[in-house]
Amino acid sequence: MQTLTIACIGEAMLEISEDPKDPGHLDRHAAGDALFTALYLARLLKGQARVMFVTQVGDDTQTKTMIESWRQAGLDVSMVHQVPDGMTGRYAVETDEDGSRHCSFWPGSDPFRDFFRNETTLSWLDRLRRVDLLYFSGATLAALHQEGRETLMSLAARVRAADGKVAFDGSFRPGKWEHADIAADWVGQAYKRSDIALPTYDDDSELAILESGGVMLNRFLLMGCSEVVIKREAEPYFVACDGERHIVEAGYLPEMMQTPSTCDSFNAGYLAARLVGWGGRQAALLGHEVADRVNEGGGSFLAPGAISDLRPRDLRALGQHPVDFFQQRP
């Protein structure tokens, strides 16, 4: 079958934090919710999809090393724009004893903010409107200038008009937005332009978007989304897909601290399965499997092959339902 094309748009930053295994040593690595989702999608759909990470970064030495690592991980980086003499955004992380993370951002180092303000990136819009799946998040919107947010909303509408799908995760980051009311407005607009809504209960409830139970699902379906997954940490997830509704138990233990990339990796697992013909419940189960692996690995990007056994079989041309391999696993 024809290779799928996926575009994940978002900010990539350099995270600086103390290595928990080596106190006093600073660990530096790329971070970003759309980036993590893109990386796991590329792993899960190896040979079945071309996954493009779409962003704007600096051209410093560390950034060039990051981009090469993305390429080696299987991402298409042809739409990574480097700003001459620019520096990729950076932030430092301090972690409390209870596991809470506190971020301090370097001022003035946010090249992604002006992503849709140069001829190079604007010239990519025609290619982007023809993708099979466009993925972005509330963090993507928060990082953009208002003009860029408007351009992204227009792109989402064009993707859907061309029979592509749009997936959106509200991913609310209070410190990145001008005001909560502005965030609520843009996040609401994005959901209305999406086919697949992937809200996280705690994030979106802060914006007064979510309520409880089936009311949550109804709200997103009435916005125009054709499928919804409401992520609720260790609580059961709510799924509405293909005219059916499911309550899917999370794999995470209540005492297990979720890592920053838990939701991003879940999204990758869910979307990968849906793109190759799996049903909503099975896709959510695969999302949990991927997120569990990431949690067990401490949240860092897993080594090559770590989730190769979870790659979903492509069922689009077979007219079959996915085998419930979760029931067959020990």
Stretch 132-145: mean pLDDT: 97
Higher pLDDT, 292 or 301: 292
SS (HEC) of 189-237: HHHHCCCEECCEHHHHHCCCCCCCHHHHHHHHHHCCCCEEEEECCCCCE
- Is the pLDDT score of 169 beyond 70? yes
pLDDT grade for 96, boundaries at 50, 70 and 90:
low
Stretch 35-49: mean pLDDT: 94
Stretch 25-33: mean pLDDT: 78
CA-CA distance, 140 to 142, in Å (whole number)?
6
Its sign, for the CA torsion 207, 107, 168, 302, is negative
User: How confident is the model over 185-202, as pLDDT tens digits?
Assistant: 999 999 999 999 999 876
Note the maximum CA span of the chain. 55
Tell me which residue range forms the domain holding 294: 4-206+251-328
251-256: which pairs have CB atoms within 8 A and are 24 or more residues apart? 251/288, 251/289, 251/291, 251/292, 252/288, 252/291, 252/292, 252/295, 256/295
Higher pLDDT, 158 or 24: 158
Q: Is residue 239 part of a domain?
A: no
Least confident of 144-148, 158-162, 240-244: 240-244
Burial of 182 (C-beta count, 10 Å sphere; 0-12/13-18/19+): middle
DSSP reduced 3-state for 83:
coil
Q: What is the mean pLDDT of the chain?
A: 83
Q: Is residue 222 part of a domain?
A: no
Cβ of 286: how many Cβ atoms within 10 Å? 27
pTM of the entire predicted model: 0.88
- Is the pLDDT score of 137 beyond 80? yes
pLDDT at 253: 47
pLDDT at 90: 79
pLDDT at 322: 43
- Is the pLDDT score of 79 beyond 50? yes
> Domain count of the chain?
1
Q: What percent of the chain has pLDDT over 70?
A: 76
Q: Answer yes or no: are the C-beta atoms of 4 and 104 closer than 8 Å.
A: no
pLDDT grade for 319, boundaries at 50, 70 and 90:
very low
Q: Is residue 215 part of a domain?
A: no
- Is the pLDDT score of 23 beyond 70? no
User: How confident is the model over 217-240, as pLDDT tens digits?
Assistant: 888 999 999 999 998 877 788 999
pLDDT grade for 140, boundaries at 50, 70 and 90:
very high
Element spanning 182, H or E: helix 180-192
Q: Is residue 138 part of a domain?
A: yes
pLDDT at 258: 56
pLDDT grade for 298, boundaries at 50, 70 and 90:
low
- Is the pLDDT score of 98 beyond 80? no
Looking at residue 266, which CATH number applies to its domain? 3.40.1190.20
Q: Is residue 229 part of a domain?
A: no
Q: Is residue 246 part of a domain?
A: no
pLDDT at 256: 45
pLDDT at 320: 46
DSSP reduced 3-state for 174:
helix
What is the spatial order of strands in the sheet that 237-241 belongs to? 80-82, 49-57, 4-9, 133-137, 165-169, 196-197, 227-230, 237-241, 244-248
DSSP reduced 3-state for 171:
coil
β-bridge mates for residue 134, sequence order? 7, 166
pLDDT grade for 22, boundaries at 50, 70 and 90:
low
Least confident of 18-27, 49-58, 111-120, 236-245: 18-27
Q: Is residue 219 part of a domain?
A: no
Q: Is residue 241 part of a domain?
A: no
β-bridge mates for residue 136, sequence order? 168
CA-CA distance, 91 to 258, in Å (whole number)?
20
pLDDT at 3: 86
